[in-house]
Amino acid sequence: MSEAVIVGGGIGGLATAVALSRRGWDVEVLERAPRIEAVGAGLSLWPNALRALDAIGVGAEVRSRASEEGSAGIRDERGRILSRTDIAAIRDRYGLPIMLHRADLLEILRAAVPESAVRTGISVTGVDEEGVVTHSEGESKGDLIVGADGIHSVVRRAVCGDITPVYAGYTAWRMVVTPSEPIGDLGETWGRGERFGFAALPDGRVYCFATANLPAGTESGGLAELRRRFGDWHAPIPALLAAADPASVLKHDIYELPPLPTYVRGTVALLGDAAHAMTPNLGQGACQALEDAVILARVADERGDLTHYDRERRPRSQMITARSRRIGTVAQLSSRPVVALRNASLRLVPPSAQVRALATVLDWTC
């Protein structure tokens, strides 16, 4: 039996553990946190990610804990439609994305890995050229070492040296709200250097997110700041903010990785945010980590030479990272005349063009 050491028990690391253990590999997941638990709120998973989850045998269970996401499109602060999403065409062409709580996905992945395979409370400090992983409890060795340890990856140093994440120029807030009455159409609203979005979770709760252009590290007033920024935007945004619990608001500055020259070195491979942390504008970060997991398990199991994984995954995930960045640049524009021009242009894009543009991202099969 082959053995893999996986550094990081997030979505990418656990999915890789599931994929490899289903192929008969012995896996050891080393996770720094004392427990596998989700930091975050809602998560959208697109049909490409659902295909990856089907490939590792958990797609049906994930769908059973999710709702289909049917965004109406993009609006301006007053609620006027800038770009309408043709939900029926997306459903027919690709299938709809789903929305679930991040904690549910982690729980499903965790349960699909043997209990003894996941070691929590272990902090990895390095990986040497022979693929020996050094950590707070000693060392671990395997035929394959997977760096699934997120944007500030320690394993990445062994693959391509020090790479500094780049600040995207904006901060994101996330929260899950229980609204007092059902909300209408879902979607995203673009203002000037600010955005607010919301999507239904399967249990009646609503996942909300917001962004604002701010210098990195700016202290925020949490919910009070969100109410100040978005409290006079169109319905149901004020009602969602009124129903929100200040303790549930998460705030993260958005960083991404510059394109790495390689995702592999010898028996060490990077995946997920450790390889290609991207801005959340396409909702593809976790989706790409799931694709990575399926392909890495297949290449390691069937071919051995990890350069095949690099060749298959790097161009695609870097293309999606770049595309996500470009959407963020447009969405976060803040100058009044430029935003007026952007909004006018958005109104001219036919929904069918939008549906076609998704093909390169969603038409992925494993």
Ligand X SMILES: Cc1cc2nc3c(=O)[nH]c(=O)nc-3n(C[C@H](O)[C@H](O)[C@H](O)COP(=O)(O)OP(=O)(O)OC[C@H]3O[C@@H](n4cnc5c(N)ncnc54)[C@H](O)[C@@H]3O)c2cc1C
- Residue closer to ligand X, measured from CB, 160 or 347: 160
In one letter, which amino acid is 3?
A: E
DSSP label at residue 257: P
User: Is residue 328 a contact residue for ligand X (CB under 6 A)?
Assistant: no
CB 93 → ligand X: shortest distance, Å? 19
**Range list of β-strands (E), the chain:** 3-7, 26-31, 42-45, 67-68, 71-75, 81-84, 98-101, 118-120, 124-127, 132-135, 138-141, 144-147, 166-177, 186-190, 194-200, 206-213, 250-256, 264-265, 268-270
Figure out which of the listed residues 286, 306, 333, 362 binds ligand X, where binding follows CB under 6 A. Answer: 286
Q: How far is the CB of 147 from ligand X (least distance, A)?
A: 9
Distance CA 44, CA 35 (A): 23
Nearer to ligand X, 127 or 306 (CB): 127
Q: Which is nearer to ligand X, 73 or 283 (CB)?
A: 283
Alpha-carbon distance of 270 to 264, in angstroms, equals 6
Q: Identify residues 38-77 at the interface with ligand X (CB under 6 A).
A: 43-44
**Contact present, 159 and 270 (Cβ < 8 Å):** yes
Out of 6, 19, 31, 66, which residue is the one contacting ligand X (CB under 6 A)? 31
Does position 11 bind ligand X by CB under 6 A? yes
Among 9, 70, 131, 191, binds ligand X (CB under 6 A): 9
132 vs 343, beta carbon nearer ligand X? 132
Q: How far is the CB of 41 from ligand X (least distance, A)?
A: 8
326 touches ligand X (CB under 6 A): no
The per-residue DSSP string of 300-364 comes to: HHHT--THHHHHHHHHHHHHHHHHHHHHHHHHT---HHHHHHHHHHHHHS-HHHHHHHTHHHH--
**Do the Cβ atoms of 126 and 154 come closer than 8 Å?**
yes
Query: By CB under 6 A, is residue 187 in contact with ligand X?
Result: no
CB-nearer residue toward ligand X: 104 or 149? 149
Which amino acid, 112?
A
Q: Which one of residues 283, 306, 310, 321 is an interface residue with ligand X (CB under 6 A)?
A: 283
Q: Does residue 194 belong to the site contacting ligand X (CB under 6 A)?
A: no
Among 5, 12, 74, 189, binds ligand X (CB under 6 A): 12
Query: Is there binding between residue 10 and ligand X (CB under 6 A)?
Result: yes
- The three-state secondary structure class of 147 is strand
Residue 289 sits in the site that holds ligand X (CB under 6 A): yes
* Residue with smaller CB distance to ligand X, 32 or 325: 32
Decide: 131 and 69 in contact? Cβ < 8 Å.
Answer: no
Q: At its nearest, how many Å lie between ligand X and the CB of residue 142?
A: 15
| Smaller CB separation from ligand X, 166 or 235 | 166
Angle ∠(277,254,346) on CA atoms, nearest 5: 95
CB of 38 to ligand X, least distance (A): 9
CA atoms of 35 and 108, how far apart (whole Å) = 15
Length of the chain: 366
**CA angle, 224 as apex, 283 and 174 as ends, to 5°?**
15
And the tokens for 107? 């729980």
Q: Which window, 6-14, 241-249, 319-327, 338-346, contacts ligand X (CB under 6 A)?
A: 6-14
* Residue from 4, 8, 96, 230 in contact with ligand X (CB under 6 A): 8
List binders of ligand X among 198-227 (CB under 6 A): none
> Does the footprint of ligand X cover residue 174 (CB under 6 A)?
yes
Using CB under 6 A as the binding rule, whether residue 35 contacts ligand X is answered as: no
d(CA 87, CA 352): 10
Q: Pick the closer one to ligand X by CB: 85 or 284.
A: 284
Site size toward ligand X, by CB under 6 A: 31
User: Closest by alpha carbon to 74, among 287, 354, 316, 266?
Assistant: 354
State the residues that interact with ligand X by CB under 6 A.
7-13, 30-33, 43-44, 123-124, 148-150, 154, 172, 174, 252, 272-273, 280, 283-287, 289
